[in-house]
Structure 1
Amino acid sequence: MTVTTSGRPAAPSDPAADVLLVEDRGAVRVLTLHRPDKLNALNTALTRALSDALTAAERDAGVRAVVLTGAGRAFCAGADLSEFSELTPDQPDAVLERAALTARLQTQMQDMGTPVVSAVRGAAVGGGAGLAIGADMAVAGTDLKFGYPELRHSIVPALVMTGLQRHLGRKLAFELVSTGRLLSAAEAAEHGLVNRVVEPDEVEGAALEIAERWAAVEPRAIRAAKDLFYRVADLPTEAAMRAGQDVNALMRAFRR
């Protein structure tokens, strides 16, 4: 059933109800990309709906963790190329709006205080690959096909390149971008792109287990831990240790 972020059935006239399913399972919110006939390709409606749903989850005090998954046999096949005929140089406003929306979505999960785990099976390519590794943790099915085949379509994977480089060494990252080679689930795990590999029908359950563990933690503590984790990654050692000291003092108030 499609539900709104409040847990009520979504109105049939709501376009987001067609492309994104939102379901609360206790303190865990499950977001399901819902264009299975298009392998959950990211058109503007789905991109906007997912970004809005992540924002809503972050603002909802009752949501302590998020699972992101896809309906059908794929997680996400990347950008919906059928929209490209409308995103042309003679439509600069539309091009810039879509680029800004996509860029925001690709970094949004790591900017949230609420932790997110992706449950990924089948194809996770292009923008879909970016979403898969943009979550804080990732569970993959053994049927995973992960990569960046954009150049085969004369497209530069510009908005997913930053996330890819931060997850992989330069040589492998450039290989994926320049050749379009797809990684298997075993390779993705070997290179640290996913945390666990399970059978395809076990992906969502394994992701829910992770999310439920997060949901059981004091929410202020996990939000502070997540914020610090990403902050120290970009700081020199001395500055990172100072940031850690600040959180160390702050956390005394978190204990129940």
Structure 2
Amino acid sequence: MIVPDRHKPIRSELRGAVMDVVIDSATDLITVDAMRLLIEAFEAATIENALLLVIRSAGDEFTLGRDQNERVEGLSRDSSLRMILTANDALRGFPGISICAVRGRAFGFGAGLAVQSDLTIAEESASFAFDEVLHGLAPLIVAEYLPRYVGHKPAADLIFTGRSLSAEEALRVQLISRVVADGRLDEHTTELCDHLMSLERGALRLMKRYLLDVGANTLDNPRDSAVTRLDAWLTAGRPDRPGSAGTQGLPLPRPGASFSDANQT
């Protein structure tokens, strides 16, 4: 469990090639200030050339989503909703590998973070829901992207009913990547990050860029582009490989360690 710091609802720290982002809300809801901090952290991960972007929570819940009762003077509803688009774009467009580690409930915007991350690990007792409709809202932003990740039928089921999924069901519909035993989330997240950090980093970035372009339908001939890009990367000497200057990262904190502890290793 991460040592909580109640001064900020979102804490982020770049350590080597790893950007750690921690949701630390006393109410388990994402406020406008928290959204701004999330966007800043996601964009900073790209600007600082991080290889990994890790998103997790300090408490027993991942997040219950946006604070629907919050009213901020000078901020229109349109502007508030567009912050979701900005956050989603910054997360999906991150050129490295994004990892979401979920314990407890990931509802609304929290479920969106989980499904849009490249890799998502969840504890057995975790649950997921796009529950906006239960609050009288129409999750049109979710309806735009969710079918691309899980298909039309599962997406329609989730957004029309607002029902929650267990971690195992979320795994079956491809909302998440892995399910681990309760109490072992930090351990498995650290192991995954250590493994990714040991791989050819240029290869990871190359694959991520290709997947983004394929998903955006920007390639006239995806198969030809795959060959051309791979050949160019190999010819260039596999740039950004492990150990290259400026890419050496630090391991994530071991279970029970705080982020400040890890920063001193």
Query: How much does 1:207 deviate?
Result: 2.0
TM-score for the superposition, normalised by structure 2:
0.80
Is 2:53 the partner of 1:71?
no
Runs of 4+ in 1 over 4 A off after TM superposition: none
Percent identity, aligned pairs only?
26
Tell me if the contact between 1:189 and 1:195 (Cα under 8 Å) persists in the aligned partners: yes
Describe how 1:42-61 pairs up with structure 2 within 5 A. Answer: 42-61=30-49
Q: Any unmatched runs of 5+ in structure 2?
A: 242-265
Tell me if the contact between 1:189 and 1:197 (Cα under 8 Å) persists in the aligned partners: yes
Q: Any unmatched runs of 5+ in structure 1?
A: 3-11
Describe how 1:91-110 pairs up with structure 2 within 5 A. Answer: 94-110=76-92
1:68, 1:45 → 2: CA distance?
A: 17
Which SS does the other structure have where 1:80 is aligned? coil
Q: Tell me: CA distance 1:152–1:46, structure 2 relative to 1, closer, same or farther (3 Å).
A: same
Residue identity in the other structure for 2:201 = P
Tell me if the contact between 2:139 and 2:159 (Cα under 8 Å) persists in the aligned partners: yes
Query: How much does 1:65 deviate?
Result: 0.8
Which SS does the other structure have where 1:108 is aligned? helix
Q: Tell me: CA distance 1:237–1:76, structure 2 relative to 1, closer, same or farther (3 Å).
A: same
Query: How much does 1:123 deviate?
Result: 0.7
Equivalent position of 2:22 in the other structure: 32
1:149, 1:225 → 2: CA distance?
A: 33
The one of 92, 101, 110 equivalent to 1:128 is 110
Which SS does the other structure have where 1:81 is aligned? coil
Describe how 1:75-90 pairs up with structure 2 within 5 A. Answer: 75-83=62-70, 85-86=71-72
Which SS does the other structure have where 2:30 is aligned? coil
Equivalent position of 2:255 in the other structure: none
2:219, 2:85 → 1: CA distance?
A: 28
Query: How much does 1:228 deviate?
Result: 0.1
TM-score for the superposition, normalised by structure 1:
0.83
Equivalent position of 2:223 in the other structure: 241
Is 2:124 the partner of 1:142?
yes
Q: Tell me: CA distance 1:243–1:172, structure 2 relative to 1, closer, same or farther (3 Å).
A: same
Describe how 1:112-123 pairs up with structure 2 within 5 A. Answer: 112-123=94-105
Query: How much does 1:216 deviate?
Result: 2.7
Is 2:150 the partner of 1:168?
yes
Query: How much does 1:26 deviate?
Result: 4.8
Equivalent position of 1:21 in the other structure: 11
- Higher RCO by CA contacts (8 Å cutoff, separation 6 or greater): 2
Tell me if the contact between 1:67 and 1:208 (Cα under 8 Å) persists in the aligned partners: no
Describe how 1:221-240 pairs up with structure 2 within 5 A. Answer: 221-235=203-217, 239-240=221-222
Of Structure 1 and Structure 2, the greater helix share is in 1
Residue identity in the other structure for 1:82 = N
1:25, 1:199 → 2: CA distance?
A: 27
Comparing 18-27 with 45-54, which one deviates more in the overlay? 18-27
1:25, 1:200 → 2: CA distance?
A: 27
Tell me if the contact between 2:219 and 2:225 (Cα under 8 Å) persists in the aligned partners: no
